[in-house]
Amino acid sequence: MSELETTNLTTEPIKNQPPKNQGMALDDARRVKTLSPGMLVFKRFIRNKLAVIGLIILVVMFLFSFLGPLLSPYTQTEVFYKEDAISKDYAGAIFNTELRYSVKEGEAFGGADQARFLLALAKDQPHFKSGETNFSFIEEGENFYRIVQLELFAESLMGRINPLPGNTLPAGFEDAFKKANEAGNTSFVLDGTTYTLTKELKAIQISTQRDVAIASFSIFDAYNSQDADLINSYDFRFLSESAGVNDSKTFTFDGKIYKIDEHEGQITIIDDKGEPFAEVSNIIVNPLDQNEFLSVDFKKIARDAINNRVDKFEFVDANGVNIEYDIHRVNTNYYIKRETTTVLINMFEFPSVKHPLGTDNNGMDMLTRLMFGGRVSLMVGFVAVFLELVIGVVIGGISGYFGGNIDTALMRFVDLFNSIPTMPLILIFGSVMDTLEVTPINRMFILMAILGFLGWTGIARVVRGQILSLREQDFMVATEATGIRTSRKIFRHLVPNVMPILIVTATASLGGLIITEATLGFLGLGIKYPLASWGSIINISSDAFIMETYWFMWIPAGMLILLTVLGFNFVGDGLRDAYDPKMKR
């Protein structure tokens, strides 16, 4: 060969050979041969911008939910409190409408006797009987009654007076009796003794009286607690109230002279030293907290305010602090309120530096609750999907590999399972757990199991369809030749070839399961307090006022659910496209 010919051979370009510096496309045959299947899927996945965005969202959600609680200074059940001044009920007042009794020392007048007295008073019958004892009452003044016990002394029958054995008729008794009886009187007095006449059929019973008790609407408050027993005694009350009925300004008790000072319906009893001794009123003023003590001065000012129909008054307490009180009337009750500094649960606090997303209706940090709630929601979703995969792969793998009657039986079982109304069944399980008062932790595990057990049928159908097409491939013929056992054929050779589509299916199912868990939480049938989930957090938005006023109670949780489900959907679509070998670039 000549030199020219040799030169031409070496300089002539080879046909169909690309230039040395020209790059190769991703789908170039030579490049494909140099990439592993996993790397090829990864390259296709990262070229999908939405899939990458979805992956970033999921990474952020996982860091927020699993790393966030470790960095948060609070726990999910930590309750925050605040001090605030609120108008709080301090005391209550009401006009007394019930008779108050003072029983004489050594006498008895119990509840049954008082009930009989009230019945006789309503029927305007001055004599009444309680058990085997006869009583009578004398109206000493308006709403002031003296109750006496009657002891039978003699009996008049057919115009003849017969004394009881052991009794002797005093001189002039018969004449005094006849005058009282003819005049229609029910009693007469002889030698300082009062006798009561009671008609019983044809006879007239003549009885002596013995003071037992008094009854009135007056309320007695002692200025000094050590005088309370004395002031509420029978003798003191009888003398003081009798003085009031008789318009007397003084009365004597136990050798001491007491003065009655009345002003605007309020009566003050002043002792012999000129000091206030007791207050008398028909208004009951009591503290709402039994640990509180209301002084007589406070009660007096409160009663004056109620009688004068004013809605405010001031009172200087024992520490010299002037406190303003408000009076609110509800029907016949009066509620006395005052501004009180108290410790309250810090509920519905708007976002601040201390609580970036505010606090919830239980006074807990919303941001921390969202972190722990995301952990629960994601755990429920992943565990449920894992159970779906396990059950679906086993049922679908056996059905697809064996075919025939086994395939028919298992697929009919799947059809039967699909006919079960899933959501109503989940709601029923939630109500049953409420009734049984299942603990929040156990409730979470049961919810995972229920969601996983009810959602495997779709995966079983996908696995069965794929294995039906794969079992006729050459590699399966090779497994038949090697004689390996059936379980190894299914789970070592067939199922791994179905894994790409299982990953795509599982990723898509996660979003749906998170939505289902959030729905159950919103309905109050999912995760229970004190555990948090995104669904249970937005349950508070069922109250229209809270939804309109406290946006931070439900919008952040709703946005987290939206972003998480959107991220799973983007990743699922990206994996589906990446696993598709026929996709065009």
160-203 confidence digits (pLDDT tens): 888 888 888 888 888 888 888 888 888 888 888 888 888 877 78
Task: Compute the mean pLDDT over every residue in the chain, rounded to the nearest whole number.
Answer: 84
418 falls within a domain: yes
pLDDT at 480: 67
pLDDT at 581: 54
pLDDT at 102: 92
Q: Are residues 382 and 494 in the same domain?
A: yes
DSSP 551: G
**Average pLDDT, stretch 462-488?**
74
Q: Taking 60 as the threshold, does the pLDDT of residue 544 lie above it?
A: yes
**Weakest mean pLDDT among 31-35, 47-51, 406-410, 438-442:** 31-35
pLDDT at 18: 52
Q: Taking 80 as the threshold, does the pLDDT of residue 535 lie above it?
A: yes
pLDDT at 8: 45
13 falls within a domain: no
Q: Taking 60 as the threshold, does the pLDDT of residue 533 lie above it?
A: yes
Q: Are residues 468 and 367 in the same domain?
A: yes
The number of domains in the chain is: 3
- SS3 for 74-92 is CCCCCECEEEEEEEEEEEE
514-527 pLDDT, tens digit per residue, is 888 888 887 777 78
Banded pLDDT at 447 (limits 50, 70, 90) = confident
pLDDT at 118: 92
Q: Taking 60 as the threshold, does the pLDDT of residue 24 lie above it?
A: no
pLDDT at 35: 53
231 falls within a domain: no
pLDDT at 477: 64
Q: Are residues 286 and 410 in the same domain?
A: no
Q: Taking 60 as the threshold, does the pLDDT of residue 30 lie above it?
A: no
Q: Are residues 401 and 307 in the same domain?
A: no
Q: How far is Cα 75 from Cα 66, in angstroms, rounded to an integer?
A: 13
The DSSP line for 41-77 is: HHHHHHT-HHHHHHHHHHHHHHIIIIIHHHH-SS-TT
Q: Which two tokens stand for residue 78?
A: 């930590």
Q: Are residues 508 and 371 in the same domain?
A: yes
**Of 186, 216, 246, which closes a domain?**
216
- Nearest in space to 262 (alpha carbons), one of 283, 275, 281, 277: 281
Partners of residue 137 on adjacent β-strands: 147
CATH number at residue 383: 1.10.3720.10
226 falls within a domain: no
Q: Are residues 375 and 475 in the same domain?
A: yes
Are 87 and 205 in contact by the 8 Å Cβ rule? The answer is no
Q: Are residues 307 and 194 in the same domain?
A: no
Partners of residue 335 on adjacent β-strands: 92, 328
Partners of residue 211 on adjacent β-strands: 148
**Of 345, 374, 393, which closes a domain?**
345
**Average pLDDT, stretch 443-461?**
87
Q: Which two tokens stand for residue 369?
A: 């609750």
Banded pLDDT at 483 (limits 50, 70, 90) = low
378-436 pLDDT, tens digit per residue, is 988 889 999 998 899 889 888 888 888 998 999 999 888 888 888 888 888 888 888 88
Q: Are residues 305 and 384 in the same domain?
A: no
DSSP 542: G
179 falls within a domain: yes
Q: Percent of the chain, pLDDT > 70?
A: 90
368 falls within a domain: yes
Q: Are residues 338 and 376 in the same domain?
A: no
- Who has greater pLDDT, 124 or 60? 60
- Coil, strand, or helix at residue 493? helix
pLDDT at 531: 85
pLDDT at 57: 94
**Average pLDDT, stretch 550-563?**
92
- Domain of 297? 282-345
287-339 pLDDT, tens digit per residue, is 888 888 888 889 889 988 988 889 999 998 888 888 999 999 988 899 999 98
- Who has greater pLDDT, 293 or 277? 277
Partners of residue 220 on adjacent β-strands: 280
Q: Are residues 316 and 403 in the same domain?
A: no
**Average pLDDT, stretch 64-81?**
92
Q: How far is CA 375 from CA 101, 274, 378, 381, in A?
A: 67, 76, 5, 10
**Average pLDDT, stretch 256-283?**
87
Q: Are residues 400 and 513 in the same domain?
A: yes
458 falls within a domain: yes
Q: Taking 50 as the threshold, does the pLDDT of residue 6 lie above it?
A: no
Q: Taking 90 as the threshold, does the pLDDT of residue 467 lie above it?
A: no
Q: Taking 70 as the threshold, does the pLDDT of residue 28 lie above it?
A: no
The residues near 185 (Cβ < 8 Å, ≥ 6 apart) are 197
134 falls within a domain: yes
Q: Are residues 390 and 499 in the same domain?
A: yes
pLDDT at 4: 41
Are 153 and 208 in contact by the 8 Å Cβ rule? The answer is yes
